Structure 1
Amino acid sequence: MRVLLVHPSALMYSEIFLRLEPLGLERVAGAARDAGHEVRVVDRQVLSERVLRDEVRAFRPEALGISLNYLANIPEAIELAVKVKREVPDCFVFFGGHSVS
């Protein structure tokens, strides 16, 4: 299965020193790869929305996982899910991270 994992962008008021490596997402990526899935990760803290759009169009993910470590990222995460579903309607979307629960 082609799995695309996305970490939302830095919060608008964040300074560069507040950006954290998405270790949880990277662990999920590693486990999915070990299970035989093809996985790509897009960290929107450092990559543009255009990069994400191009990745979705080229990779055509069958599943999209979005990390939610901050409640303030929920609107962006929902918007990302909607955009990917428009591009790839059959893509399964799921959210993870402590802010989901």
Structure 2
Amino acid sequence: MRVLLIYSPYTYPHAYALRTELLGITYLAAAVRAAGHEVSILDPTINPPIKLPDGSFFYGGTDEEVRDTIIRQAPDVVGISCHYVFSHQEAFRIASIVKSIDSRIITVLGGLYASVYKERPLLDSDA
């Protein structure tokens, strides 16, 4: 099975955001690999921030970059890590991109947001 794990992009009010490595997704990747599956990680947040018209900053790749990566990787499963509450709309956008490519791709939302809000992501996302 091919698994693609994606860090959710986010918007932040400042050009400098304290960015730290979120280890959960890397632990998950190690466990998936140890179980004999092929796994890749996409971290669009490593791109330089893009200043938005409202003065905030977007940390993440373009929809085209995300779409191209998903198509190139051809995953059976996509896991989206949504650690911050303020990034949940971006996580939903990634899920929508996945489903627009192939509705059969199993799409999972994880991270702090999904753990705390449990059913809410299912109600709030159209993906």
Tell me if TM exceeds 0.5: yes
After superposition, the C-alpha distances for 1:39-76 in whole angstroms (9 at most, x for unaligned) are 01001211423432221111111111011111111111
Aligned to 1:81: 95
Distance 2:86 2:104 in 1: 27
What secondary structure sits across from 2:12 in the alignment? coil
Aligned to 2:34: 34
Larger relative contact order (CA 8 Å, sep ≥ 6): 1
Count of residue pairs the alignment pairs up: 101
Gaps of 5+ in 1: none
Return the index of the structure with the highest Cα Rg: 2
Aligned to 2:72: 58
What secondary structure sits across from 1:41 in the alignment? strand
Aligned to 2:2: 2
C-alpha distance 56-15 of structure 1, shift in aligned 2 (>3 A):
same
Contact 1:4 1:61 (8 Å CA) reproduced: yes
TM-score (normalizing by structure 1) = 0.89
Give the % identical residues: 34
C-alpha distance 75-17 of structure 1, shift in aligned 2 (>3 A):
closer
Distance 1:83 1:55 in 2: 11
Q: What amino acid is the match of 1:20?
A: T
Tell me which stretches of 4 or more aligned residues in structure 1 moved more than 3 Å.
14-17
Farther-moved stretch of structure 1 (59-68 vs 48-57): 48-57
Aligned-residue CA RMSD (Å)? 1.5
Per-residue deviation at 1:10? 4.0
Gaps of 5+ in 2: 48-60, 116-127
Contact 2:10 2:90 (8 Å CA) reproduced: no
